[in-house]
Structures are given as C-alpha cells and as structure tokens.
Structure 1
Amino acid sequence: MGDNRFLPRDVATTGAERREGWFVGSIDQGTTSTRFLIFNGAGEPVASHQMGFDNKHAHSGWHEHDALELLQTVETCIEKAVEQFVADGHDVSRIRSVGITNQRETLVLWDKNTGEPLHNAVVWPDTRTASMVRELKTWPGADKVQELCGLPLSTYPSSVKLVWLLRHDKAVKQAYDEGRLVFGTVDSWLIFRLNGGNDCADGPIHVTDATNASRTMFMNLRTLQYDDTLLSFFKLDRAKIILPKIVPSSHATEFGALARGPLKGVSIAGCLGDQSSALVGQCGFKPGQAKNTYGTGCFLLYNVGTEPVISKNGLLATVAYDFGKGQKPVYALEGSIAVGGSGITFLQNNLGIVSSPKEVDSVARTVPDNGGVYFVTAFSGLFAPYWIDDAKGTMFGITAHSQKGHFARATLEATCHQTAAILDAMATDSGHALESLAVDGGLSNSDLCMQTQADISGIPVDRPFMRETTALGAAVAAGLATGVWESLDDLREVNREGRTVFEPQIGKDERRRLRAKWEQAVEMCRGWIREDLDGPSS
C-alpha cells in the first residue's frame, strides 16, 4: 500500500509547524481538462499543471472520453507539477499524500482479466439514454427509487448508462454474462490504474467513496452500501458485475498508493466527487452552509447535516462527504442550473454584446439597472427547481430604449435568480435557515454578478481569494487522513485570507419585486415547445 511518505525526523511534527512542513497533492479530473495541484498546509497551491483532452461526440447526444487518455493526462500532470515543485526548491518527500476529485456519474467499464477498458467512458451529460429513461419510469418500483438513492431517474446517473451499454454493446454484454465486467466511475478507474491495475502487489484495488457512489443510483443513501432493491430494479445480477467497494472519502490506506512516477509510494488518501469536493474546499462543514460553483452551468450544494433529506422541491439528495473515523456521513441537497457562464459566452459569440467574458461587468455597468429586461436562459429548458422542459430561451421587457447593458445585466441576473430559487427550495426542504453562500468558478470573478447574487438572495455571498476550491477539497480529504490536519478545527483558517464578502444592498420590498418579476417571466416562457406546431424533434 506504500509507505505513506513519513517525513524525515528533523521535520517538526506538532501543530502549525507540521502543517507548514507538509504538502498534499490533488488530482482534479474534470469534463474538459485534468489538473494536478500541490497545496501547502495553509491550503495554498504552490505548483500545478493542466491538460485538456478529446471530448468525443460520435452521434447527436453522445459524449465520451477515452479512459486511457484520462489516465495519461493525470500521470503527465503529476509529473509536470512535481517538476515545478522541485524547481521551486521544495522536497518531494514532504508531499504527504494525494487526493482525487473527479467528474461524477461518468461511467467506465473494464475487463477484470486484462484491466483494459471495454468501451469509451460515457460522460455525465450524455443523453443517448433519454428514451430509455422514459421506459424506466414505467417499470415496477420506479416510484420508490428516489427515496432509496436520492436521485430521480434521468440521463445523468451511471446506472442508466450501464443498462444502455448492456443492451447495445456486445463486448460489454459478453463481459457481463461471463462475470468479468468491472464497473466504476472515474475515481475508481484512476485509483485502480494508478495503483498498478491488475499488477498491484496487493491485488487490484477497486474502491470508490460515498460521494461518487451516491451518483450511480446503486447505493442506499442511508446505509452507504449497494442496495439489492436498486440493483434489482435495473435488472442487474450482482454475481455478474464487479462493483467498487464503498469506503470513506478520507482514509490513509483504502485507496492504495501511486505505483509509479515521481510520487511513487505516496498514499492516495482522499476521494470526493467534484461538487462535494468544492463544498469541502469551501469548508462548508455546518448545516445551512451552501456553495455555488459558477462554471458553464452552476452547481449548488447545501449542507443538511447527518440525516439525508429527500427533496419535495425538485432537488437531488446526495452525500456531501464521509470522513469516517466514527463520524457520521454528512449529506447535501443539490441543484443545478444549465446556463451560467455559457450565458456570457452567448452574449459574446451569438449577439456580439461583449468581446470577451471579462467585459461583461463593464458593459453591464453602462446602465444603472436592467431597464425592465428579463432573460430566461432556458436554452435547453430550465433545471431545478423548475424542471420545465418545454421552454426555450426568452427575453421579456424589451423596448426601443433597451441597450447592450440591459441585456448584459439581464443575463447575469438570470443566473442569480435561478440560484436564489434553488436556495429557497433547499431551505424549505432542509428546514435549515441559510447563513451565507460560498462561491467559486469563473463567473464568480464578476463583482457585479456576486453583488447581484447577494441582493437577490438576501444573504452574504462569500468569495475566496484562492478559488481552486474543488482541488483543495480533495487535498483536505487526503490531508485529514494522513495527519496534515488533525480535525476540521484545523481547517478554520484555510483559504480565509483575502476573501470578499458581498452584503445585500437592497431592501426586502425591492428584492420581493425583482423576484416576482423573474417568476412572472419563468411562467410566461412555459409551453413554447409544442409538438403540434414544432414537430417532435424541436
């Protein structure tokens, strides 16, 4: 399992001195790129490397990755980041452990005998299963699935991707029938191969953590174990498929150690799905704390404490993190917004209102308010908490006096209104009053957007100076397992310096008026898609 890279005897091993002397690596494997970052004990990145890779779209709605290419980018990023780390005068022996954070729901299948992929990884946004999902919703027991696993039947989870491949790919079906089909999400695949695959001295390491397992629809949200009822619903025979062992998100030995490269022998000691990792990186450890990652879309996670909450308002229930050591797992409610930063890209590429995303603030500030313009950015319908699939992007309130600045503001406000609606649903479902919203991701760089978010939500918006929070979360999980930090109390000051807090600057009446007008716009965009007028393929 590796030597856990204990430090030389001359390195201090108490309190702040220990944290100052040790470092933690973080593999951040995302949908469009892979990164490896090295953090110090204060949670500051000191070295990093990033690589893109091919996103494959062989057919409409298909989205795949080459699983071996994902592995290769991880190993290259580790190598290059360590080169930088050493060039800056650091000692590799002081890298205590490595954590992994990854795109969730993406499915990787490989052969038990060869350790080689049986198919391209099927990526989380892939929608080839849409018609099959409609079928699954008619199966006996479909109404009980979400209560057990926290997720509704949709195209996202790994389960429906697996069922589709069993129906349509001969190699996958044959491996299943012969009992050599290995199932995993990206974390499981990377951990298996980084440990040496089938050549690992202690035998193949096939594990996942509860945050990733909770996105498969196979895990019972309360027991954190695979549920026979769920597996039976998907008509899977446990004797024919090899599922990864579910372990805590933070553990010194369960994830093994790197088998080769410049960090050979260093423990892999943390594993978190990317959105959970961002919540941990934001130190969202108390019920009522929430984070929003403003990327292409937006993902909100809301800490609800040690009991899962099954949403009655269109949200997902998931595991926030499980740090083991006798502690109860912590759960979250999750909501997503389809259009975040991609709305700014639309302003740039489709309307020419800004020449780069960085310009959106300056253009928006050319006017004092939205001028009555509301932009419902339902390019592919609306996600949580509305779940309107017959809407299209719609602008309301345009007059002869509407200017570029009004459209820019309306685009920013669309993301903020949807975020506020999700936060309201989360507070209603959980019963926890919302304290503040921690933010990260590209669009969080917009001061105007973050101030607007505070105004519309009526709560402080807390933006860290160091915004690599997703990678930091995985490092935290690994560091907690290997003594870099002893407890969550040690993390109170991590990434606290230089934070910007945006306080609400409008009153309740104005906030209520703005929210009501947005909700009016949402209601008016319903029903735009009509098969009798548009045809079934619109």
Structure 2
Amino acid sequence: MAGDVILAIDQGTTNTKALLVGPHAEIVARASRPMTLAHPRPGWTEQNAEHIWASVAAVIEDLVVAAPGHRITAVAISNQRETIVAWDARTGRPIAPAISWQCRRSSERCARLRAEGLEAFVSERSGLGLDPLFPAAKLAWLLEAVPEAAALATSGDLRVGTIDSWLLWNLTGGKVHATDLSNASRTQLLNLRARDWDPELAALFGVPLAALPRLQDSDADFGRVAAGVCALPADIPVRAIMGDSHAALFGHVQAAPGAVKATIGTGSSIMAATDSLVRSTHGLSSTIAWSQGGETVYALEGNITVSGQAAAFATQLLGAADEQALTDLATSVETSDGVVFVPALAGLGAPHWDDRARGAISGMTLGTRPAHVARATFEAIALQIVDVIEAMQADLAHPLSEIRVDGGATRNTFLLQLLSDLLSKDVARQDSPEASALGVARMAALALDAPMQAEEAPLLRFTPRMADARRSQIQRDWRQAIARARSHA
C-alpha cells in the first residue's frame, strides 16, 4: 500500500475539485471539473443540482483511478455556501434548480421584511442582516413559487439544505440528511447563541423545521459512503464538513493562530476568528467559524458578491483573450487615469449591503483606453477587500497586521501587490491555492485522531510600495464611485 489518505472535496461555484491528502498535508492527487451557472432572468443565478453531484462523483472517480494504491480513510467536504437545494426525500430528485448564493430573486422579500422593522430581530438571532445572499429568503421564495415544495412539506417529504447536505445525502445513498454548524450559520435560520434552528426565524420565512438537516459539529461522524453511489468503496466515513471559507480559515489558523484570511474567488470572504460572539456595528456578519468536539469558534466575516468574477466580466467586456491577457493589459499602464469600476453586478455586499446598487464605470475621458478599465477592474477587487478589512479593524478595535489570502484569484500576483498597496499592509499567500480542501482535510484528520504532521508551506509575501498620496486619491475616487453606484439604485 502507498499509504493512507483523506479524500477532500471542494465543491465551488465555478469548479468542483477534489484532493487526496496525505499525513503531512501533502497533495497526493487532484482532480477538477468546471461548473456552469444559469441566469434565466435578470438578477437570477442558479445551478443544476444533479450536475453538481455528478461533478463530485466524477472527480472522485478520477482520484480512485489516479491513485489505486492508496487507502482512503475518510471523506471531507468543503462547499460553496448559501446556495440552496430542495429535493424529494422519496426519490432523491431536486424539485428545482439550486438557487445560487449570488441570486437576487429574494430581494423584494428582504426589502419587505426590512420595511416591517424586522432586520434587527433577524440579525440579533442569526448574526446576518437581511440580504438575498442568505438562504432563508430564497427558501421562502421557493416554497411559494414551486407548487411541489408546499405539497412535499405537507407530506413530510421535503428536504432542503446547503450544498454540503445535498452531497452528504447522495454519498450516503439518502440515509443521512445533516449539515455542520458552519454551513447552518449561513442560512439565517440558525440561532447563533443556542446553536440550533430557531423556530421563530423558520416561521418568519415560512420554512418547515422538519425539512431542515440535522445539526452536527464540523468534525462529526456524518455517516458512511453507500455502496454503488460513486467509485468509492462502501463504508468509508464522512468525517468533516465545513463551508469553504470556514475551512480555509481553519487551515490558516492551524498554521498561524489569530490569522485574518481573505478567500478571493468568484466572490470574496474575509474572515477573522473571534474568542466569543462579536456583534458588528460596521456592516459585517457574525457567524460560526467551526464547531469541533462540542466547542464552537465564532468569526466576523465580510462577504463580497462579485470579486474575481469582475475580472471574468471585464475580460469579456473588453474582448481580451483570457484573464492573463486582461492582467497584461492592466500592467501596461501605470495608473487607471481616474477610471473607477464598481463591480456591483449583483448588488454590493459587505460592508455596504445594497442589493439594488448597479455596476458602473466612471471617470472616463476621451483619453481612456481599455488598459485603464482593465487596471480599474483589479483595483476594484482589491478596494472591496480594503472596505471590509477597515470595517473589521473597527469592530475588533485593534489593527490587523497581515492578511492571509487564498482562492483561485490569488494566483494573480499583480492583484496581490495591488491589495497590499491599497491596504497598506503585508499580504501573504501560501504556495498551494487549495486552502479550503486542505483545511477540511485537516479537520477530518483530527477527527480520526491522526493530526497531520505538516510544516507551514512557504509563503509568498507582498509588502506595500505605493505612495501614500496616490493610495489616498484612489480611495477617494472609489468612495465617490460607490456613492454614485448606490444612488442609481
């Protein structure tokens, strides 16, 4: 035998990845499949839930074929958060497409609840403000709009959950409907202090408690892989589940206690673990980072709706060959020449929380070239993170010295240098971009009482080198552009 490994699944918005991770946190093998998004109406974003499961089964098969001599001791799941699936317990078939975290179809419901003065109540219980990002309002929409949902709720056959619970259901052959507290804390249906589903929140959104998954710690024994559901042998345990941003933070904290991390992907999640439940007064969310052995770690988080996706949008808008070509275009000029891009393409997330804001490019003149717009795009990705970090510093009342980054967009070193410049802080990236998968693999290893004996991977560090006057001007232009984007709502 070549050795024991953990199979870590990282199911994301645009890619499904899986790793075989060895006892020293080394990646033995990896596989991936691209995912697609559908936009059937303006502001709507959804995915095919069956395709999501099929992509997971495909990467599992790839790994089993690639490393036949290894013994898989456990499965660990990290997943895109806030995307919701509803299915029929009798057939295991989804009754509607998965509603993506980016989807804004529940905006009107959130606005109505806000107008009724309920935001403070919802936020106090769940830690989350009223925004269509979160699943509770999406589920309320689904239960009203999909006739089958109400019928199944009445018969007791409706099952709903975030992507982790959908994958767990399929891996266990429909035997287990469960989730972990990190994912549950993102639904807006969990009482953060009680660490349980909140009956009053469920009633407010019209969600039947019986349809929700069982709550477990992130390192629980979630169940066993069923025979014939995928290429894995039967009875392998699922020993860790975490939301992708939580898993990334867990990995960083294992290496650097007290770390603040920014996961930069399609959107961005900036998160800091806290000793206790901290209530933000600067537009951030309170959440559960993870729950391990019955002990809960909380976090402050800022979510950005469109982050790395802004580069993909600009690539298409400007007719660049790919995102590397967009980067080359951006680096061909020294500044954006006053051009500012606000990528509010699906509203604005933290700390502004304005789901009616619209994307805008401002500051153009007759001398503006595509290169200036390209550079403004990368500045925008960084500046959104700056806004969240500044809010986090205000909430925590102490300076944050270094930011750890991970996620697909962090392969772009130009972006990371811009981020360091505009933050005026050091930014550090590990060699491996697979922070979420490695983080949840570490959690599973601890659950098996076989902690990974890993030295911290080498860090690529970026230090600020932008002049203060230039940084201040860029930030002034950004604040003005944000105000204009919000006034157009």
> Is TM > 0.5 for Structure 1 vs Structure 2?
yes
Contact 2:139/2:205 (8 A) holds in 1: no
Contact 2:217/2:292 (8 A) holds in 1: yes
Q: State the alpha-carbon separation in 2 of the partners of residues 54 and 402 from structure 1.
A: 33
Partner of residue 192, structure 1: 169
Give the 5 Å matches for 1:37-186.
Answer: 37-53=19-35, 55-86=37-68, 91-93=69-71, 95-139=72-116, 141-186=118-163
Closer, same or farther: CA 340–117 of 1 in aligned 2, 3 Å: closer
Closer, same or farther: CA 66–148 of 1 in aligned 2, 3 Å: same
Partner of residue 218, structure 1: 189
Partner of residue 276, structure 1: 246
**Equivalent of 2:379 in 389, 413, 427:** 413
| Superposed CA RMSD | 2.7
Query: What SS does structure 2 have at the residue aligned with 1:329?
Result: strand
Closer, same or farther: CA 402–66 of 1 in aligned 2, 3 Å: closer
Q: State the alpha-carbon separation in 2 of the partners of residues 382 and 66 from structure 1.
A: 25
**Equivalent of 1:422 in 388, 392, 395:** 388
User: Are 1:445 and 2:411 matched, yes or no?
Assistant: yes
Deviation at 1:34, TM superposition (A): 2.2
Map Cα deviations across residues 325-344 of structure 1 (whole Å, 9 max, x no partner): x5x32222222333333333
Q: State the alpha-carbon separation in 1 of the partners of residues 334 and 42 from structure 2.
A: 42
Q: State the alpha-carbon separation in 2 of the partners of residues 476 and 149 from structure 1.
A: 28
- Single out whichever of 382-391 and 449-458 deviates more from structure 2: 382-391
Query: What SS does structure 2 have at the residue aligned with 1:410?
Result: helix
Query: What SS does structure 2 have at the residue aligned with 1:250?
Result: coil
User: Are 1:321 and 2:290 matched, yes or no?
Assistant: yes
Query: What SS does structure 2 have at the residue aligned with 1:101?
Result: strand
Partner letter of residue 200 of structure 2?
T
Q: State the alpha-carbon separation in 2 of the partners of residues 376 and 60 from structure 1.
A: 18
User: Are 1:520 and 2:486 matched, yes or no?
Assistant: no
Q: More strand by proportion, 1 or 2? A: 2
Q: State the alpha-carbon separation in 1 of the partners of residues 5 and 177 from structure 2.
A: 26
Map Cα deviations across residues 88-127 of structure 1 (whole Å, 9 max, x no partner): xxx232x221100112222222334444433333332232
Contact 1:212/1:272 (8 A) holds in 2: yes
Query: What SS does structure 1 have at the residue aligned with 2:348?
Result: coil
Contact 1:158/1:217 (8 A) holds in 2: yes
Where does structure 1 lack aligned partners over 5 or more consecutive residues? 1-7, 12-20, 198-203, 530-538
**Equivalent of 2:310 in 330, 335, 343:** 343
Bigger radius of gyration among the two: 1
Q: State the alpha-carbon separation in 2 of the partners of residues 143 and 159 from structure 1.
A: 16
Where does structure 2 lack aligned partners over 5 or more consecutive residues? none
Q: State the alpha-carbon separation in 2 of the partners of residues 225 and 140 from structure 1.
A: 24
Partner of residue 503, structure 1: 463
Give the 5 Å matches for 1:246-265.
Answer: 246-251=215-220, 253-260=221-228, 261-265=231-235
Map Cα deviations across residues 359-418 of structure 1 (whole Å, 9 max, x no partner): 334333333333343333334443322234565444444445544443332221111112
Deviation at 1:524, TM superposition (A): 4.4
Query: What SS does structure 1 have at the residue aligned with 2:183?
Result: helix
User: Are 1:309 and 2:275 matched, yes or no?
Assistant: no
Query: What SS does structure 2 have at the residue aligned with 1:49?
Result: strand
TM-score (norm 1): 0.83
Closer, same or farther: CA 173–140 of 1 in aligned 2, 3 Å: farther
Deviation at 1:472, TM superposition (A): 1.4
Map Cα deviations across residues 246-270 of structure 1 (whole Å, 9 max, x no partner): 111113x234345443342221101
Partner of residue 297, structure 1: 267
**Equivalent of 1:376 in 332, 342, 349:** 342
Closer, same or farther: CA 166–522 of 1 in aligned 2, 3 Å: closer
Contact 1:288/1:432 (8 A) holds in 2: no
Q: State the alpha-carbon separation in 2 of the partners of residues 28 and 143 from structure 1.
A: 34
Query: What SS does structure 2 have at the residue aligned with 1:369?
Result: coil
Query: What SS does structure 2 have at the residue aligned with 1:193?
Result: helix
Q: State the alpha-carbon separation in 1 of the partners of residues 84 and 356 from structure 2.
A: 29
Q: Give the paired residue count.
A: 487
Query: What SS does structure 1 have at the residue aligned with 2:196?
Result: coil
Partner of residue 214, structure 2: 245
Query: What SS does structure 1 have at the residue aligned with 2:298?
Result: strand
Q: State the alpha-carbon separation in 2 of the partners of residues 70 and 401 from structure 1.
A: 45
TM-score (norm 2): 0.90
Q: State the alpha-carbon separation in 2 of the partners of residues 266 and 448 from structure 1.
A: 42
Q: State the alpha-carbon separation in 1 of the partners of residues 232 and 357 from structure 2.
A: 51
Closer, same or farther: CA 470–400 of 1 in aligned 2, 3 Å: same
Closer, same or farther: CA 381–178 of 1 in aligned 2, 3 Å: closer
Query: What SS does structure 2 have at the residue aligned with 1:47?
Result: strand
User: Are 1:31 and 2:13 matched, yes or no?
Assistant: yes
Deviation at 1:44, TM superposition (A): 2.7
Partner letter of residue 275 of structure 1?
S
Q: State the alpha-carbon separation in 2 of the partners of residues 292 and 321 from structure 1.
A: 17
Deviation at 1:502, TM superposition (A): 0.4
Closer, same or farther: CA 175–436 of 1 in aligned 2, 3 Å: same
Q: State the alpha-carbon separation in 2 of the partners of residues 347 and 57 from structure 1.
A: 18
Q: State the alpha-carbon separation in 2 of the partners of residues 364 and 233 from structure 1.
A: 47
- Single out whichever of 261-270 and 365-374 deviates more from structure 2: 365-374
Query: What SS does structure 2 have at the residue aligned with 1:296?
Result: coil
Partner letter of residue 180 of structure 1?
D
Partner letter of residue 65 of structure 1?
Q
Query: What SS does structure 2 have at the residue aligned with 1:387?
Result: coil
Partner letter of residue 101 of structure 2?
W
Q: State the alpha-carbon separation in 2 of the partners of residues 30 and 102 from structure 1.
A: 6
Contact 1:99/1:475 (8 A) holds in 2: yes
Query: What SS does structure 2 have at the residue aligned with 1:516?
Result: helix
Between the aligned residues of both structures, percent identity stands at: 34
